[in-house]
Amino acid sequence: MFTKNPVSETKVGKPSLIGYSSKDLSEIAVEMGQEPFKGLQLFKWIYEKNSKDFESMTDLPKDFRNKLFTKYSLRRPMIKNQYISEDGTRKWLTSFDDGNQAETVMIPEDNRITLCISSQIGCTLTCKFCYTGTQRLVRNLSAGEIVGQVIIAKEQINNCIDDKNKEKKTISNIVLMGMGEPLYNFNNIKKSIEIINDKKGLSISNKKITLSTSGIIPQIIKCGEELGLNLAISLHSPDDDTRTKIMPINKKYPIKELIKACKLYPQISNTKLITFEYVMLKDLNDSDEDAKNLVKLVKGVNCKFNLIPFNAWPNAPYECSSNDRILKFQKILQDSGLGCFIRTPRGLDILAACGQLKTDSKIPNHRKSL
C-alpha cells in the first residue's frame, strides 16, 4: 500500500533547532539573555513534548520565544511517501531541506517497535548484495536529520497504531542499519545518539540502540568507547576471497583484523554479545564448510549470528539459499554452541527489508565534475 503525503514542501529558511543538544540549547538561552535552564526547558519542548512552534512553549518567557522565532525554526524532515507492507512494516521516504531523500523503516512486532534509520544518503561501499550499494554516496546526514527520523517516526507511530495498543506506542529499539555506513559519519552519529539518549528528551537508552557496520576497524573501538552501543558486524563470509568479492571494503579491513577488533570491543561480555550478520547467498557463502569455518573464526568472541535470507531487489546478482540449506547452516552453528537466529524478512513487498533501501537522490552534476 502506498500513500502520498498531502503536506506541501516547506521552503528552507531559518536554521532548525532539531539536532541541537541540551548543552547547545542552554548556550542559545544564555546568548539570548536567559538562564541556562531555560535551554533545558526548550529541549524538553522540542524532544519530549514534540512541540512544533515556539508559541506553545508557555513556560518560556515571551521575549525568549520571540527571539527564538526570529532566529530559528523547528522544521523537521518531511515524509514524502509512505509505503505500508502487508505485515505492518512501514517505510517512509524522508525528504530533507535540500530535497535529498533517505529511507526510514518502522517494524512493529508483538511487543515492541523497532526503528531502522539511515545515516547517509547513498553509500560509498558498494556491497554487492545491497541495493543501497548501487546508489553513489550523495552526502552524510546531519545530526538533525538523523534525530529527525526518530521524531517523525514517533509522530507517525502515535497516529497509526490503534488505541487498544496504546501502551505499545513507543519505539523500543533503534537499529542504525538503514542507508549508509554509520561509522563513516561518526561525529553526526555521536551527536544524534547524545540527543536520542537524553532522558529529558527522546530518552532511548543506548542499550536499545544497535549500530551495524561493514567493519570499519579504526572506528569500531571508538564506537564502543564513545557511544557504548550494541554492535552488529556485516560478516557474510569466513574467507577473505569471498568477502572481498561481495564486500570490497574487506580488502582494506580483512577478516582477521576485524575479528581482533571485535574481541576488543569494550561493551562485550558473556551476556552482551556482538551480532554477526550473515546474508545467505545461494552457492556463494552457504556451504557446510563455510559454517564450520565460521565456528573456527569466531572462537573466543562473545557473539551470536543472525542469518539473513537474501532479500532480492531489481536486477540483484544473487539468489537466496534454500530454506533447507539455511536450516542446515544454522544447525552447524548452533551445534557448536553459538546462538544463531534466522531473521524473518519484514516489509519485503515494499522493498523495506534488509539490503533493499535506495532513493533517487543523486550527486548534483556540478559536484560530480569536481
Q: In terms of DSSP bridges, do strands 173-176 and 209-213 run parallel, antiparallel, or are they unpaired? A: parallel
DSSP single-letter state for residue 46: I
Task: Convert residues 33-72 into a mask of x (bound to ligand SF4 by CB under 6 A) and - (unbound).
Answer: ----------------------------------------
> Judged by CB, which is closer to ligand SF4: 119, or 330?
119
Q: Which CB sits closer to ligand SF4, 16 or 356?
A: 356
* Contact pattern from residue 91 through residue 120 relative to ligand SF4, giving x for each residue in contact according to CB under 6 A and a dash for the rest: ------------------------------
Among 16, 95, 132, 250, binds ligand SF4 (CB under 6 A): 132
The rounded Cα 19 to chain-centroid distance in angstroms is 16
216 binds ligand SF4 (CB under 6 A): no
Q: Is 125 in the site for ligand SF4 (CB under 6 A)?
A: yes
Identify whether the C-beta of residue 239 lies closer than 8 Å to the C-beta of residue 255.
Answer: yes
Span of 122-130, 300-308, 334-342, 345-353 interacting with ligand SF4 by CB under 6 A: 122-130
Which residue from 204, 264, 201, 195 is spatially nearest to 231, judged by alpha carbons? Answer: 264
Angle ∠(298,114,184) on CA atoms, nearest 5: 60
Reading the block at residue 51, the C-alpha cell is 512541540
Nearest approach in angstroms of CB 106 to ligand SF4 is 18
Q: Which residues contact 70 (CB under 8 A, 6 or more apart)?
A: none
Q: Which of 127, 232, 307, 308 binds ligand SF4 (CB under 6 A)?
A: 127
The catalytic position among 103, 145, 181, 194 is 103
Nearest to 148 by CA among 184, 200, 94: 94
If the CB atoms of residues 25 and 357 are measured against ligand SF4, the closer one turns out to be: 357
Site string for ligand SF4, 223-252 (x = CB under 6 A): -----------x------------------
Report the residue from 19, 39, 77, 133 that binds ligand SF4 according to the rule CB under 6 A.
133
Q: Is 329:363 a contact under the CB 8 Å cutoff? A: no
354 is catalytic: yes
Amino acid (one-letter) located at 148: G
- Rounded to an integer, what distance in angstroms lies between the CA atom of residue 62 and that of residue 72? 15
Count of positions on this chain that bind ligand SF4 (CB under 6 A): 12
* CA–CA dist 75, 202 (Å, integer): 17
Q: Is 103 a catalytic residue?
A: yes
Count the neighbouring beta carbons within 10 Å of the beta carbon of residue 267: 18
Residue 238 DSSP symbol:
S
Rounded Cα distance between 71 and 60, Å, is 16
Q: Is 214 in the site for ligand SF4 (CB under 6 A)?
A: yes
Residue from 42, 60, 116, 123 in contact with ligand SF4 (CB under 6 A): 123
Sites of contact with ligand SF4 (CB under 6 A): 123, 125-127, 130, 132-133, 179-181, 214, 234
Q: Enumerate the active-site residues.
A: 103, 354
